[in-house]
């Protein structure tokens, strides 16, 4: 099996993971979480979302989190924004990369952003232009790329159209997002293969949810096509307030374990991540769905090193 030699893991737990939690998590605990993830070797971390607290109250303190985290060299600290006001707030906290998102589904997009697909793309144009001027990387998420909770099946051609528009507007990379965890490996392979006919592999990434238990299988399908940029959420926490039925993101420590076992280097410390996951379980007062933290044997890749 031919696989990439390395993989880049983007940690979304402090944002995508926490945003759907009903019980408030303190600003101090969020800051500690981001810092612990950085200490575990993750070099790309999404620390907050600069949207209206009316819609996502868990992210109301993203300004403070962004200002007070301990910034380590070589780490990209990232934030999600949906308008210019949010961009300016995020920039003031010192973000390195801005994350923007548009759904392929018109219905989802109107519920998530109160705008149609084309309208939301146009709304991002000045943000992308400003970010390029500011020297801030732009990561564009194409949500509902594999299916929509309201419209069902999504045409691959429509996904590719949104991806290409983002790149033409100036985004540095596009991330195909399985917002509700409905994707399967054959679908992932086909959609990525279509994209790779038009988009370089180093500008593509994937974001999987594990609603149906297929997230790691979908990661493998992407790996086999050379895609090596993956989102993960520590412990497997997560969900989307605007996508009924969406469960947690692929668990970061399970993802890293699988990649390292197959010889794909990530630079991430699995035992350290497991400790972070256990700490988060204490904060939330419940078990998280990740698997590797319960395994009793030592990972073989650690024995090889």
Roughly what angle, to the nearest 10 degrees, separates helices 270-284 and 252-261?
A: 160
Contact 191, 144 (CB under 8 A): no
Backbone dihedral region for residue 267 (phi beyond 0: left; psi -120 to 50: alpha; all else: beta): left
User: Is-catalytic flag, 240?
Assistant: yes
Catalytic residue among 148, 182, 240, 251: 240
Those residues whose C-beta lies under 8 Å from the C-beta of residue 62, and which sit 6 or more positions away, are 15, 47, 48, 49, 50, 79, 89, 90, 93
d(C-alpha 47, C-alpha 57), whole Å? 15
Gap between the Cα atoms of 59 and 56, Å rounded: 6
Task: List, by residue number, the catalytic residues.
Answer: 240
């Amino acid at each position: 099996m031919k696989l990439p030699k390395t993989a880049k893991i983007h940690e979304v737990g402090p944002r995508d993971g926490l945003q759907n939690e009903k019980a408030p998590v303190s600003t101090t605990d969020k800051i500690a979480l981001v810092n612990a993830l950085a200490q575990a070797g993750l070099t790309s971390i999404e620390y907050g979302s600069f949207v209206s607290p009316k819609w996502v109250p868990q992210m109301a303190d993203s300004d403070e989190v962004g200002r007070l985290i301990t910034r380590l060299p070589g780490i990209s600290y990232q934030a999600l924004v949906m308008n210019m006001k949010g961009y300016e707030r995020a920039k003031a906290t010192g973000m390195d990369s801005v994350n923007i998102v548009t759904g392929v589904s018109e219905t989802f997009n109107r519920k998530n952003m109160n705008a149609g697909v084309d309208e939301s793309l146009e709304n991002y144009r000045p943000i992308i232009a400003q970010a390029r001027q500011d020297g801030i990387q732009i990561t564009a998420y194409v949500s509902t790329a594999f299916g929509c909770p309201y419209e069902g099946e999504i045409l691959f051609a429509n996904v590719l159209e949104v991806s290409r528009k983002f790149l033409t507007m100036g985004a540095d990379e596009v991330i195909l997002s399985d917002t509700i965890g409905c994707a399967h490996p054959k679908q992932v392979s086909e959609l990525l293969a279509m994209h790779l006919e038009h988009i370089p592999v180093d500008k593509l990434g994937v974001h999987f949810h594990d609603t149906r238990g297929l997230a790691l299988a979908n990661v493998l399908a992407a790996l086999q096509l050379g895609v090596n940029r993956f989102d993960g959420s520590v412990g497997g926490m997560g969900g989307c307030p605007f996508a009924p039925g969406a469960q947690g993101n692929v668990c970061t420590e399970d993802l890293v374990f699988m990649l390292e076992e197959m010889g794909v280097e990530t630079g991430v410390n699995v035992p350290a991540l497991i400790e972070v996951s256990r700490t988060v379980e204490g904060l939330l007062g419940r078990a998280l769905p990740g698997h590797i933290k319960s395994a009793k044997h030592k990972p073989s890749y650690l024995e090889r090193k």
